[in-house]
Amino acid sequence: MVKTAKLALEDGTILIGEGFGAETIKTGEIVFSTSMAGYVAALTDPSFKGQILMSTYPLEGNYGVSKDWYQSEDIKAEAYIVRQVCDEPCHPKSEQSLSEFLMDNDVPGISGIDTRALTIKIREVGSMKAAVANTDIADEELLKIVAEQPGIEDMYLVDKITTKEPKYITDKKDYNIAVLDCGVKKNILTNLIYDDVGVVVMPADSTAQEVIDMDVDGVLVSSGPGNPENVDKIQDTIRELSVKMPIAGICLGQQIIALAFGAKIYKMKFGHRGSNQPVKDLKTGQVYITSQNHSFSIDPESIEGTDLEITQINLNDGTPEAIVHKELPISCIQYHPEAGPGPHDTREFFDKFVEAIKNNKA
Buried b (16+ CB within 10 A) or exposed e, 142-177: bbebbeebeebeebebbeebbbeebeebeeeeebbb
Buried b (16+ CB within 10 A) or exposed e, 285-305: eeebebbbbbbbbbeeebbee
Q: Which residues pair with 176 in a beta bridge?
A: 198
CA 68 – CA 130 distance, rounded (Å): 30
294 counts as catalytic = no
DSSP-assigned letter for residue 183: S
| Bridge pairing between strands 108-111 and 14-21 | antiparallel
353 φ/ψ sector (left φ>0, alpha ψ -120 to 50, else beta):
alpha
CA 94 – CA 65 distance, rounded (Å): 5
Hey, how many other C-beta atoms are within 10 angstroms of the C-beta on 228?
A: 28
CA 336 – CA 224 distance, rounded (Å): 11
| Bridge pairing between strands 25-33 and 128-133 | antiparallel
86 counts as catalytic = no
C-alpha of 75 from chain center: 13
Contact 348, 290 (CB under 8 A): no
Identify the burial level of 318 via C-beta atoms within 10 angstroms of its C-beta, where 0-12 means exposed, 13-18 middle and 19 or more buried.
exposed
338 counts as catalytic = yes
Contact 127, 31 (CB under 8 A): yes
Helices 252-260 and 233-241 cross at an angle (nearest 10°) of 70
Please identify which of the residues 29, 60, 251, 294 carries the catalytic annotation: 251
Please identify which of the residues 10, 60, 78, 338 carries the catalytic annotation: 338
* Nearest in space to 50 (alpha carbons), one of 197, 226, 302, 270: 226
Catalytic center residues: 251, 336, 338
